[in-house]
Amino acid sequence: DYKGQKLAEQIFQGIILVSAVIGFIYGYITEQFGWTVYIVMAGFALSCLLTLPPWPMYRRNPLKWLPVQDSGTEEKKAADRKPKRHAKS
């Protein structure tokens, strides 16, 4: 559903943003860029774990699909059609 997709996107962006800020601050304090990368990667992994599987919190508003049409009516309609004749040139 669309509300679940919106929620997943907000969670993903929030975790990435927070981990980037924390990683930047920690990396700046320790003067190690590697820690910044590790923290951002950990935030990415956490956000993937929370947003990629189809958790029930993302499926609260299911979409209503159109009902299935009987396939026999389509075959009948195709049989009723006359073949088109092409103009001779």
The answer to whether residue 42 is domain-embedded is: yes
At 5-59, the pLDDT tens digits run 999 999 999 999 999 999 999 999 999 999 999 999 999 999 999 999 999 998 9
Residue 36 lies in a domain: yes
Flag whether 37 is in a domain.
Answer: yes
Residue-wise pLDDT for 52-81, tens only, equals 999 999 899 888 888 988 876 555 555 566
- Quote the number of domains for the chain: 1
Q: Is residue 32 part of a domain?
A: yes
How many whole angstroms separate alpha carbon 38 and alpha carbon 20? 10
Q: Which domain does 38 fall in, by range?
A: 26-54
Residue 47 forms part of a structural domain? yes
Query: Can you state the angle between helices 33-51 and 2-30, rounded to 10 degrees?
Result: 160
| Within-domain flag for 83 | no
Q: What global pTM score does this model have?
A: 0.69
